[in-house]
A = this chain, B = another copy of it.
Amino acid sequence: MRQNPARRTALLDAAIDVLARDGSRGLTLRAIDAAASVPTGTATNYFRDRDDLLGQVMRRTRERLAPDPAVVERTMRAPRDAKLVAELMRQLVDRMRADRASNLAMLELRLEATRRAALGDELGGFLTAEHTELIDFHLGAGLPGDRIGVALLYFAMSGLLLDDLTLPAIPDQYRTDELVATLVARVLSAPR
């Protein structure tokens, strides 16, 4: 097993591209080699088997999709109101649109996770942790809304991003800004 971290990352990024372009069906060690412009057989030296590969790809996509802490810090200087939440959501959408490949790869991995127990456990662990963190961050930062409201926000954003990625014809009918602003305003409103 080779250790060169730069090369490993390059291979993983290539794998994400392949996954986005050709799907799980097209993801082979040779295809990764080609996408990364390295000699045939290189990927074989870096990944034990498909499970190992998918696990590493998953971790890499998490890295790539994570928000820049500096940007978060800067954004969070604003007052804790719905406008700020909407801004955070808009940044989320922008981030996802800017790295469409990682997002598509994540979807492929989600599906793959339904049939590979090991991957499912790992992905499940990561995403539930992320989900919990999101809620804790939101409530801890004093942003408006209750626990269930934040969860609903999360689900709605998931759905929006799913369509944005795979069937843009639907979200394209709306103005994203308006959609997000309305969603935040309503879903985080106090229960009556």
Q: Which residues of A contact B (CB under 8 A)?
A: 21-25, 104, 107-108, 110-115, 123-124, 127-128, 131, 148-149, 151-152, 154-160, 162-163, 165-167, 169-171, 173-174, 178-179, 182-183, 185-187, 189, 191-192
Contact = CB atoms under 8 A, between A and B. Distances in A.
Given A152-B179, A182-B191, 6 more contacts: A23-B25, A107-B107, A124-B169, A152-B182, A186-B189, A186-B191
15 contacts: A23-B24, A110-B166, A110-B167, A114-B166, A127-B167, A127-B169, A128-B173, A151-B173, A152-B156, A152-B179, A155-B171, A157-B159, A158-B162, A186-B189, A186-B191
B114 A149 contact: no
Given A23-B115, A111-B104, A170-B128, A155 B160 contact: yes
Nearest to A189: B186
A107 B152 CA distance: 21
Copy tally for this chain in the complex stands at 2
Given A158-B158, A158-B162, A148 B182 contact: yes
Closest 10 CB pairs of A and B: A158-B159, A159-B159, A155-B159, A156-B156, A110-B166, A155-B160, A25-B25, A124-B169, A24-B25, A128-B169
Nearest to A145: B186
A159 to B, nearest CB: 3
Contact of A148 (B111, B115, B151, B178): B178
Q: What does DSSP make chain A's interface, helix, strand, loop or mixed?
A: helix
A60 B144 CA distance: 44
A152 to B, nearest CB: 5
Contacts of A23: 24-25, 111-112, 115
Nearest to A161: B159
A26 to B, nearest CB: 9
Contacts of A182: 148-149, 152, 191
